[in-house]
């Protein structure tokens, strides 16, 4: 019997496995093959691949530095903010690390200690409660398999099956469908842009340059013609001067937006949820990696303290993270309110006035 079975070896699951893998008997079940060499051709998580300062801080706390082969150019220090309604544009200084998300996930996965049992290309299917824990069913190589554990951890992302089985009626964070298209890009684009346009979405859209490719993405309402809205977004940005070359790839994923702390589900009994499965993600920017790291750390501390009471301990350890979600919702209210955003952008406070002319001079704009 395992102490802990983790479903999902993304950033949250891989981090938890790394933290508890030497002291506990752990199994990780992951749908992807995290070892295959020809990674560019494989399934890739739909993501912007920007490591924000909060996630950088957590990597620092873990004593980790990002290896060079994971970085993608250019590194970005500027966000170009476009407000469609007021037709205002501003540039703000930001500090992101631009990475290849699939390689980033594989690197985190490679840090899982060798004592941990890993099942890749294995799909979690269901669970049953037993006298002393949980028995899970998963499918690998077309065969049904079972594993018994004292604690089951759902780290299986925004559409977590573990969460749906554990508590189907628990309030869910609002789900958006994120679509990203990738275009070949010849020129330079030394900034990331965030676009506020209520005709497209009440969340936001973005462009990110990455290694000769420009990504256009948007978080859209699944029931409000997301494909049509994406096409309209592209047209509006073309009209604004964005040059989208040939499309080489398109992908999509659900992304959560917790509007209330009550939508975060820590778990119950012998089942815990971490990362986006629990609902941990910023409602203002959809930055999720720092929340994966912080929730995995909070659960690992609780497990090291006492496996039997780890879900309650985990809840206790995430007081600050819940406060953070409250604060990010206040920030989201300020950012997504047309009048407040207009006043902030109009005032130019904190913006970098001279950047636009520099970009125009170098022919980038
Ligand atoms: C378009 C987009 C752009 C984003 N950009 C950024 C960004 O730039 N920076 C940032 O910080 N955040 C970003 N995010 C958010 C971030 O990607 C997520 O918050 C983060 O990936 C959540 O990590 P996780 O480990 O909780 O889940 P995931 O990364 O989703 O990992 C879940 C893992 O579980 C596995 N899995 C799922 N179901 C099963 C199953 N049944 N059986 C076995 N395995 C299973 C999956 O294969 C996956 O490996 C973005 C999200 C989207 C959608």
pLDDT at 19 over 70: yes
Best residue for ligand 1 mutational test, from 9, 10, 17, 195 (most atoms within 8 Å of Cβ): 10
- pLDDT tens readout for residues 132-169: 999 999 999 999 999 999 999 999 999 999 999 999 99
pLDDT 10s digits, 191-220: 999 999 999 999 999 999 998 999 999 999
Band the pLDDT of 190: cuts 50, 70, 90: confident
3-state secondary structure of 305: helix
Strands 2-7 and 97-98, sheet pairing: unpaired
pLDDT in tens, 302-345: 999 999 999 999 999 999 999 999 999 999 999 999 999 999 99
Atom of ligand 1 nearest to the CA of 291: 19
Mean pLDDT for the stretch of residues 11-35: 97
Query: In this structure, are strands 192-196 and 267-268 parallel, antiparallel, or unpaired?
Result: unpaired
CB 334 within 8 A of CB 340: yes
Q: What pLDDT is recorded for position 43?
A: 65
Task: Specify the pLDDT at position 73.
Answer: 83
The reported pLDDT for the residue numbered 358 is 67
Residue 365 has pLDDT above 80, yes or no: no
Nearest to 239 by CA among 280, 291, 275, 195: 195
The average confidence (pLDDT) of the chain is 94
Q: What is the pLDDT of residue 138?
A: 98
Predicted local distance difference test score (pLDDT) of residue 348 = 87
What is the average pLDDT across 58-76? 95
In this predicted structure, what is the pLDDT of residue 187? Answer: 82
User: What is the distance between the alpha carbons of residues 295 and 314, in angstroms, rounded to a whole number?
Assistant: 8
Q: Which CATH number fits domain 2-347: 3.30.470.10, 3.40.50.300, 3.90.1210.10, 3.50.50.60?
A: 3.50.50.60
Q: Does the pLDDT of residue 186 top 70, yes or no?
A: yes
pLDDT of residue 188: 82
User: Taking 80 as the threshold, does the pLDDT of residue 353 lie above it?
Assistant: no
Q: Report which ligand 1 atom has the smallest distance to the Cα of 162.
A: 41
Residue 273 has pLDDT above 60, yes or no: yes
Residue 189 banded pLDDT, cuts 50, 70, 90? confident
- Most informative mutation of 155, 157, 194, 251 for ligand 1 (most atoms within 8 A of CB): 157
SS3 71: strand
Query: What three-state secondary structure class fits 42?
Result: coil
pTM: 0.95
Residue list, ligand 1 pocket, CB within 6 Å? 7-13, 29-32, 45-50, 52, 55, 123-124, 155-157, 161, 178, 180, 217, 253, 255, 275-277, 281, 286-289, 292
Of 27 and 189, the one with more pLDDT: 27
């Amino acid at each position: 019997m395992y102490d802990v079975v983790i479903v999902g070896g993304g950033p949250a699951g891989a981090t938890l496995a790394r933290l508890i893998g030497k002291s506990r008997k752990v199994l990780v079940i992951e749908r992807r093959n995290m070892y295959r060499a020809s990674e560019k051709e494989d399934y890739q998580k739909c993501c912007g691949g920007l490591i924000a300062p909060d996630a950088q801080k957590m990597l620092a706390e873990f004593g980790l530095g990002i290896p060079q082969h994971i970085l993608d150019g250019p590194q970005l220090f500027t966000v170009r903010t476009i407000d469609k309604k007021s037709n205002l544009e501003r540039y703000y200084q930001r500090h992101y690390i631009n990475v290849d998300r699939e390689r980033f996930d594989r690197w985190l996965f490679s840090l899982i200690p060798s004592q941990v049992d890993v099942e890749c290309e294995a799909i979690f299917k269901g669970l049953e409660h037993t006298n002393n824990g949980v028995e899970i069913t998963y499918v690998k190589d077309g065969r049904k398999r079972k594993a018994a554990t004292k604690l089951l951890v759902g780290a299986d992302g925004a559409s977590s099956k573990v969460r749906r089985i554990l508590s189907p009626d628990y309030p869910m964070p609002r789900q958006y469908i994120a679509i990203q298209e990738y275009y070949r890009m010849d020129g330079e684009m030394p900034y990331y842009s965030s676009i506020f346009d209520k005709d497209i979405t009440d969340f936001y859209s973005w462009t990110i340059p990455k290694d000769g490719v420009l990504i256009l993405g948007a978080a859209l309402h699944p029931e409000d013609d997301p494909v049509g809205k994406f096409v309209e977004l592209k047209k509006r940005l073309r009209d604004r001067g964005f040059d989208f070359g040939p499309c080489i790839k398109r992908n999509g994923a659900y992304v959560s937006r917790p509007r209330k702390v009550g939508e975060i589900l820590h778990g119950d009994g012998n089942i815990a949820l971490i990362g986006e499965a629990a609902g941990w993600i910023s409602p203002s920017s959809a930055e999720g990696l720092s929340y994966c790291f912080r929730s995995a750390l909070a659960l690992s501390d609780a497990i090291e303290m006492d496996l039997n009471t780890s879900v309650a301990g985990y809840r206790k350890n995430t007081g600050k993270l819940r406060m953070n979600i409250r604060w990010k919702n206040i920030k989201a209210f300020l950012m997504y309110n047309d009048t407040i955003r207009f006043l902030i952008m109009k005032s130019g406070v904190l913006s970098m006035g001279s950047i636009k002319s520099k970009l125009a001079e170098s022919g980038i704009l």
